Every structure is written in C-alpha cells, then in structure tokens.
Chain A
C-alpha cells in the first residue's frame, strides 16, 4: 500500500474559503500572501518553491510514502522541484508527472538515474500522455491521441531497455536507437515505479505493457470496479499485474458536521464569474475520462453529493480531482478501506491548504486505515 500527497504546483490557499490563491503567484498579491508576500507594500521576492519544499517535508514527517509533483503549462516544473526535494527530505519518494515527448528517452533515463543516485532510489513517475487539442500544441506536440500512446509505449520500451546498462537497439515508429545504454555507474539504479494515467482503450493497452499502477480519478463505485477489471484483464494478457491506484481530494475533520461546515463556508466565498471564465478557457481536448461538467452558479453544496463523495472541489480551486471525500476522520478511513477491499493499492491524496492538511491527514486519518497494515494474502 502506498500513500502519496499531492504537491500544489500551481498555487495554494491559506484557507479553503479564500476565493483566490494566496500562496504563490497564481492569484492577486494581497496582504497575508506568502511566497511571495508583501513587505511595506512591495513583493518580498520569496519563491513559491520554498513553500513547496515545506509541503514535501510536512508530508514526509506526517508519514506519507511519497509526493506527487504534477506538471501543467501554468505550473512549476517537477524536475526542478524533485531535485531540491531530494536534498531536503530523507525518506519521501517523489513522483514526477511526465509526458514522454518532453525528453529524449535516453536523456530521460540518464536524468532519472542521476535522481536515483541523488536520492537513494526515491523516484517514481506518473506517466501522462496529454489531452490533445490546443494544450498539446502549446507543448509543441501535434501527434494524435492513439499515436501518442504508441509513442508512450515506445518511449518506455527504450527507457526500460537501457536502464540496466545492456546494449539496446530499437526500431520503432517514433524512436530508433542503436547500441544505446546507460553507462556505469549510472546503469542499474533502483527502477522508478510507473503510475499511468488514461482510460481509453489505447491508454489501457499501453499501460498493460509497462505500468506498475493504473491511476484514476474517483468515479461512482461501479465505474471504478469496471475499470479495475478491464485494466486487470488487459495486463494479464501480457502476463503482468497492474495495481489500481486512485487520487482524490480529502476534507476530513473530527466530525462530519465540522467537515461539511468547512465546505459550506468555502462555497459561500466562490467567485462564480472567475469560475465560469475558467470553464470557458479550458477548451476541448481529446482525452477520454475527464469527470463531470463543472458545477453551475446557484447550485448548492448538497446538489453535488455523489454516493459518499462530493463533486465541488474544483470549484473551490482545490487542485487535482473535482470528486473527493468530505466527512470525519473515521469515515475517511472507512472510505479508503473500501477502495483497498476493491483492490486499490496506491493512493494520491490532496487537500487545501496542502501543508497543514498533509499533517492532518497523515496524523489523523492514515493511522485509522485498517487496510494499510493488512498484508495482502493474494499473490500476483
């Protein structure tokens, strides 16, 4: 069982109820902001990166296994964060969100091997293949959806092939190498586990070959179970075992009443004009599996309840999944246990503000999760 905490790479808030980001440069610079903050009315020049290091250290101290470092056009970059997090923490693993076309596979292998040597083997990846459309062209990538997954598969074929130092040659549609290999002493580092994102058939086929974990946002329970079954089926065709993993926002308090009161307080502060502008800006992509349409002005907190989950996190500017958990610490632990019983072996949790909530979830919720200490009896 792995529990990871999400690093808020494009801003955070001191309080869920703030209408804009107050940590980082993604909202207006106001009194009380930090990284940067204001001193005598002038920006104090403190980099947001320093806050992210503190979030990472808090997650480590609170008992998380690792931290996800996402990657978006408007976010900080994971490689830079990972390199300094590795020096700032001792045991925390760090998961870099990565699209294959950003580096040549040999360069990616070399940089990854360096990170393993720097950190004592703490690197993992979240392999993302992109949503297509204007955002993909922003990255300089014109390749269409199914071909992007072919490229992902080929990228990982080469990355894996050269990792342990043996001579590797490959003739693919996107990559051709001859006698490539990581030289000693870079070769043979701890293998970075691969989380994989994608719900389409092309994605699941690519995953079966290389993924260690299939990562999905929360959906109604039946949808999740069907997806887990499909992932298992496709992976077993290659003789592999891909473990399900889920990611969600979690707002947990001592009692359910306190948790829902927090949500209501934040909901009352939503800037609906800004929310609608964001929804318009998002634009079309060709990814399959984005969850539901953004909530509408005038909807109440109760309107967004789905089974034991709540769909309004995106509206509150909580990053990551819009669908997440609200309730007491015990209820949160039961929710997590429910996913564990359904086969989930990896969790990426998030909440706002990221630093304080890492400590809260790590100290109050994780110790109550029974499944975390259960040794899984079933073999691969």
Chain B
C-alpha cells in the first residue's frame, strides 16, 4: 500500500523556537502585547499577511513531494476552511485536510462548501472531523458540548452529508440535523465525497470510525500499542464490511544524526524554562532536565512536545536514517498515513521533504513489496 505523508500548516504562528511567545511569524502569541517587528499581521504596512507565510509552507510541501496539507483548528488561529480556500489555487497537487467540528456547522452547508471546493480543486478536499477533548475553563465559543455529544453530532453530520451527496433525493431526521429531499442539482454532481479523517477516542468514536472513516488517526505510541489498536478497530470496521487506513500525527525533529537531533530538542527544552506559558491551567510549569529524560519513551520517541505548544504530545526525534527505519516499522504495523510537523514549518518542510521522505519511501516500497 502506498503511504501518504501530510504536512501540517501552523494555524496560529510559527518560528524557530519551541516557545510560542518567541515566534516571529504571525502575531498570535498570547503574551505579546505588540506584534513582533517581523510578524505579518494583516495590517497593510507592507502588504503581507500570515497567509503569505502559509502559502510558502504549502508550496514547499508541494515542491518537496508531500501528499497533502493538514490544517488544524486552534482557538486563536486562522480558520481551516478559509486557509484551505485561500490556497486551493496556489498549490495544484496537494490534498487539503481542514479540521471541522460538527457542532459548529450545518451538515448540508458543510456538503455544499465541500462540493464547491471539489469542483475548484479537482477533488482535493478531505475532512478531518475533530472532537474537542479539553475545552479548558473558558472555551472561546461559549458552549460546553460533551465529548459524547460531539461524537454523536459528527456521526449524524457524516450520515446526512454522505446521503445528501450520493443518494439524492435524500431525507433524514436525526437528533441534531435533518433534511428533506436533499441533494445537488445536476450542475454540481459528479464530484467525489471528501475523504474522511477521524481521530481516536472512546468506544463511540471508534464506532463512528468503523462506519465512516477513510483514515483513522491514532495516538503515537510504541509500535506494539499501535498494532494492537489497529487490530481492535479493524474488527469493528469489518463488521461493516469496511477496511480503514490508519494514520499517526507527530512532530518530527530530524537531523543528519540522532545525536544532533536529541541535542537540538534538549537545547530547545532548556530554553523553554519555567517562564514558558502553560498551555492550560492544568499543566504545571515545565523545565527540568530530569523531566526531559522522563519523557523519552522510545529510542526515537519523546513525549514533551505537548508541554510546550498545542498539538500532539508525542513526536519523533532522530537522524534521517534512524527515523526512516522507525517510520517503516509503523508502516509494517499497518500505518499508511503520516501527519508530520516541525517548526519552523517552512524550512522544515524542505528538510523533511528532501532528506527524510525519500528514505521513507524507499523503505516502505520495500515493505509493501514484501507484504504482497
């Protein structure tokens, strides 16, 4: 099976440091009262906005051979659908995977936006329907939807949108969404339904994945834990006659050698002293070298990323060859989608795309051939 590798677009700023309040790209840092001199803010001072930075990152991913762009939600960040729409004509090959949240959008309208995007882009839209686990003490949207309700809404949204798209005239009455005689006019028909990416979660989330996911995103853990989780979900999907693809989402600190990689990430960690802004009130201040070591959970896995910036906690650290071997091990365990990120995302798209991806593709085509 061919693997796909997506590159993350950073929705709320970027820079070389691990610490967000030191970022010079974008004006999103909560501590910063005035925009950094180099932050592109949308004020028409020099004509540039953060979207120009995102455009460069997207083009870098396209030039260096990634398969798509992962566009996550963030409370203070640019809205993924707007980002995807703005870049759709600037990259011609990559798939766009914006994050949507079922409580915030009408099911019919999500389908309507999607069909326009498919027409405009030549079928390059996918959906990542996300559930907010930790809504913090003050969610920006002013509501508290439980995880259960979010998953239920996601399930209905997908039931309705898929029926609307593929079985017109479509009538549906759920608890959260309904439609009567829905479906696209002839002029809009003929487009592929967006591929659906869903994240791991409790049993009801797995049930939705079994019915709807094209790709199920797993948390990055040991190869054994990933293999076990895949087996579990495969059983659920088989009951619906479906086969899923599996993905993992991770930061990747890749250097010519593993020593250099660990050195660099340790130095960034030391830089992120106890003055680092906690991601939420629940997270204690970070900083000790011992904590760094406590978070080394595999030869090339470190779980400290989530302590210093929003996003997945666990990521890869290592030399290009070592990491290519690591990735191949996950491919052998059944993972075929990798959502990677590293800051700064522009330069690292070039590094990962040019240095790591060729090694990964060489090994995984070997893996695919052996598996046949």
A60 to B76, CA, bound (A): 31
Interface centre among A76, A79, A114, A115 (most CB of B within 10 A): A114
Question: In the bound complex, how far is the Cα of B55 from the Cα of A139, in angstroms?
Answer: 33
Given contacts A47-B120, A102-B106, A140-B182, contact A184 B30 (CB under 8 A): yes
CB under 8 Å from chain A, chain B span 212-236: none
Residues from chain B with a CB closer than 8 A to the CB of A87 are: 51, 55, 86-87, 89-90
Shortest Cβ distance from A28 into chain B, in angstroms?
A: 11
- Which of chain A's residues have a CB closer than 8 A to the CB of B140? 106, 110, 180-183
Task: Check if A346 is an interface residue, CB within 8 A of chain B.
Answer: no
Which of B59-67, B109-117, B302-310, B341-349 lies at the interface with chain A? Answer: B109-117
Interface assignment of A222: CB less than 8 Å from any CB of chain B: no
CB-nearest residue of chain B relative to A53?
A: B89
Q: Which residues of A contact B179 (CB under 8 A)?
A: 137-140
Contacts of B90 in A (CB 8 A): 87
Chain B 21-55 interface residues, beta-carbon cutoff 8 Å to A: 27-28, 30, 41-42, 44, 49-51, 55
| B85-A79 in contact (CB<8A) | yes
B 101-112 to A, binary, CB cutoff 8 A, 1 in contact else 0: 101111111001
Of all chain A residues, the one with the shortest Cβ separation from B86 is A83
**Within the complex, what minimum Cβ distance (angstroms) separates A7 from chain B?**
13
The answer on a CB contact under 8 Å between B187 and A103 is no
Give per-residue flags for A83-97: 1 if the beta carbon is below 8 A from chain B beta carbons, else 0. Answer: 110111000000000
If A106-B142, A183-B75 touch, whether A114 touches B83 (CB-CB below 8 Å) is yes
Q: A11 on the interface (CB 8 Å rule)?
A: yes
> Is B370 an interface residue when CB atoms closer than 8 A count as contact?
no
CB of A169 within 8 A of CB of B86, answer no
Q: How far is the CB of A134 from chain B (nearest CB, A)?
A: 7
* Most interface-central of B30, B42, B82, B143 (chain A CB within 10 A): B82
A33 at the interface (CB under 8 A from B): no
Query: Is A86 a contact partner of B86 (Cβ separation < 8 A)?
Result: yes
Q: A104-B141, A178-B142, A181-B140 are in contact. Are A77 and B106 (CB under 8 A)?
A: no
Question: Which of A116-124, A236-244, A307-315, A335-343 interfaces with chain B?
Answer: A116-124
Q: Are A84 and B42 closer than 8 Å at their CB atoms?
A: no
Tell me if A49 is interfacial: C-beta within 8 Å of chain B: yes
User: How many residue pairs between the two chains, A and B, have CB atoms under 8 Å in the bound complex?
Assistant: 169
> Does B78 contact A114, Cβ atoms closer than 8 Å?
yes
Among candidates A47, A53, A183, residue contacting B76 with C-beta atoms closer than 8 Å: A183
B178 at the interface (CB under 8 A from A): yes
Partner of A186, one of B76, B108, B160: B76
Min CB gap A319→B, angstroms: 13
B317 to chain A, nearest CB (A): 31
Question: Secondary structure at chain B's binding surface: helix, strand, loop or mixed?
Answer: mixed
Residues of the A chain whose Cβ atoms lie less than 8 Å from the Cβ of B188: 25, 74
Q: Is A230 an interface residue (CB 8 A)?
A: no
* A179 to B108 CA separation, bound complex (whole angstroms): 28
Closest Cβ of chain A to B113, distance in Å, is 5
Chain A residues with CB below 8 A from B44, complex form: 120
Smallest CB–CB gap between B326 and chain A, Å?
A: 36
* Closest partner residue, chain A, to B169 (CB atom): A138
Q: Tally A residues with Cβ within 8 Å of B.
A: 60
Q: State the CA gap A162–B180 with chains docked (Å).
A: 33
A120, closest chain B residue (CB) = B44
Q: Does B301 contact A (CB under 8 A)?
A: no
- Which residues between 31 and 70 of chain A lie within 8 Å of chain B, taking CB atoms? 45, 47-50, 53
Q: Is A177 an interface residue (CB 8 A)?
A: yes
A118, B86: Cβ atoms closer than 8 Å = yes
Query: A25 contacts which chain B residues (CB < 8 A)?
Result: 119, 187-188
Chain B residues with CB below 8 A from A116, complex form = 42
User: Which residue of A101, A107, A176 has the most chain B CB atoms within 10 A of its CB atom?
Assistant: A107
Report if B138 contacts A (CB, 8 A).
yes
Could you tell me the distance between the alpha carbons of A169 and B138 in the complex, rounded to whole angstroms?
Answer: 12
Task: Tell whether B200 is near chain A: CB-to-CB under 8 Å.
Answer: no
Q: How far does the alpha carbon of A53 sit from the alpha carbon of B119 in the complex, in Å?
A: 14
Q: In the docked arrangement, what's the CA distance between A188 and B88, Å?
A: 27
The answer, yes or no, to whether B185 is at the interface (CB within 8 Å) is yes
The yes or no answer to A354 lying at the interface (CB within 8 A) is no
A142 interface residue per 8 A CB criterion: yes
Q: Is B79 an interface residue (CB 8 A)?
A: yes
Q: Which of A285-318 contact B (CB under 8 A)?
A: none
Contact B142 A117 (CB under 8 A): no
Identify which of A106, A113, A117, A138 contacts B108 (C-beta below 8 A).
Answer: A138
CB distance from B173 to the nearest CB of A (A): 10
CA distance A160 to B127 in the complex (A): 29
Which chain B residue shows the least CB distance to A168?
Answer: B142
Asked whether A139 and B106 contact (CB < 8 A) given A76-B119, A118-B49, the answer is yes
B57: which A residues are within 8 A, CB to CB? Answer: none
Known contacts A76-B116, A76-B119; 8 further A-B pairs (Cβ under 8 A): A83-B82, A87-B86, A104-B103, A107-B79, A120-B42, A140-B107, A140-B160, A162-B142
A-B contact pairs, 17 of them (CB 8 A): A11-B187, A49-B116, A53-B89, A76-B120, A80-B117, A83-B85, A101-B106, A106-B140, A107-B104, A117-B49, A120-B49, A140-B160, A140-B177, A177-B143, A179-B142, A180-B143, A181-B140
**Nearest 7 A-B pairs (CB), nearest first?**
A180-B142, A83-B85, A177-B142, A74-B185, A107-B104, A137-B180, A77-B116
